[in-house]
């Protein structure tokens, strides 16, 4: 417990431990309220739904049959959407290919594009702290994004980009067969669940990924949490829901 509290501190949830003072803390907005769906600070979490959701992935039988090596090579050479032109590296995904926890984010940012790894920099450090809070080293989870290439100026993914890239992630999910998917951020959650429901309303409920039945828990993106630290307490609740869901799935 002491170790977990240290990890929560690393997430910036010091107030979480001070339960005696919680009554004095600001009330969390109800899911779906303006404060919940729009947040205290402007952010990608609060923007209107993208047109990139509710789009079906094309049939890619070539990708659906690939093993890890062929899949990684295919992604590294991919020119299916315009994002290939501006990338430094593709960002395939990292971690344990037999992981119980699969973390899925939005798309590479500048640092990720330069390093070829998802969730580096400050947002990556916060994600690492979130994983430690559920008892995982980063290497024990698998971490990937909806898109493998960086959108220019970190703009939101466009519908055709998501459609082109989706078979790669679908194949990763099929190969990993995770016990739980943690969708971090609005873009990841909406595209995985094929919905335009705001992230504030997707939180707090266990969803399922397509026909696989793999449970999906949505939470805020670490980059958003860095801008809106009060919502870290909500993210911790999401992590607790994911842990409980994973625990319930075990014999």
Give residues with Cβ within 8 angstroms of 133, minimum separation 6.
4, 7, 8, 10, 11, 236, 239
List the interface residues with ligand SF4, window 159-218 (CB under 6 A): 161, 164-165
**Can residue 149 be called a binding residue for ligand SF4 (CB under 6 A)?**
yes
Query: Which stretch, 8-16, 129-137, 147-155, 207-215, contacts ligand SF4 (CB under 6 A)?
Result: 147-155
Fill in the per-residue mask, 60 to 99: x = in contact with ligand SF4 (CB under 6 A), - = not in contact: ---------------x--xxxx-xx-----x---------
How many residues form the binding site for ligand SF4 (CB under 6 A)?
A: 14
Q: Using DSSP bridges, classify how beta strands 214-219 and 180-184 pair: parallel, antiparallel or unpaired.
A: parallel
Structure tokens at 233: 């307490």
At its nearest, how many Å lie between ligand SF4 and the CB of residue 172?
A: 12
At its nearest, how many Å lie between ligand SF4 and the CB of residue 225?
A: 25
Distance between CA atoms of 102 and 43, rounded to whole angstroms?
24
At its nearest, how many Å lie between ligand SF4 and the CB of residue 68?
A: 16
Q: Using DSSP bridges, classify how beta strands 180-184 and 142-145 pair: parallel, antiparallel or unpaired.
A: unpaired
**What residue ranges bind ligand SF4 (CB under 6 A)?**
75, 78-81, 83-84, 90, 147-149, 161, 164-165
């Amino acid at each position: 417990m002491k170790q977990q509290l240290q990890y929560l501190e690393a997430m910036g949830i010091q107030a979480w431990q001070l339960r005696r003072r919680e009554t004095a803390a600001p009330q969390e907005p109800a899911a779906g309220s303006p404060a919940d769906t729009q947040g205290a600070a402007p952010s990608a979490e609060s923007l209107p739904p993208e047109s990139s959701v509710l789009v079906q992935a094309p049939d890619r039988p070539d990708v659906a049959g690939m093993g890890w090596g062929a899949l990684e090579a295919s992604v590294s050479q991919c020119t299916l959407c315009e994002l290939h032109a501006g990338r430094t590296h593709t960002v395939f995904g990292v971690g344990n290919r037999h992981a119980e926890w699969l973390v899925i984010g939005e798309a590479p940012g500048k640092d990720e594009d330069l390093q070829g790894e998802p969730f580096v920099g400050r947002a990556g450090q916060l994600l690492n702290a979130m994983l430690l809070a559920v008892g995982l080293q980063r290497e024990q989870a698998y971490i990937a994004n909806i898109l493998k290439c960086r959108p220019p100026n970190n703009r939101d993914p466009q519908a055709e980009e998501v459609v082109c890239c989706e078979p790669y992630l679908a194949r990763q999910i099929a190969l990993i067969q995770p016990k739980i998917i943690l969708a971090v951020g609005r873009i990841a959650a909406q595209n995985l669940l094929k919905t335009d429901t705001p992230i504030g309303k997707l939180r707090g409920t266990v969803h399922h990924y397509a026909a696989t039945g793999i449970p999906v828990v949505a939470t805020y993106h670490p980059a958003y949490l860095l801008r809106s630290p009060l919502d870290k307490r909500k993210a911790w609740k999401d992590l607790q829901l994911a842990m409980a869901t994973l625990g319930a799935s075990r014999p």
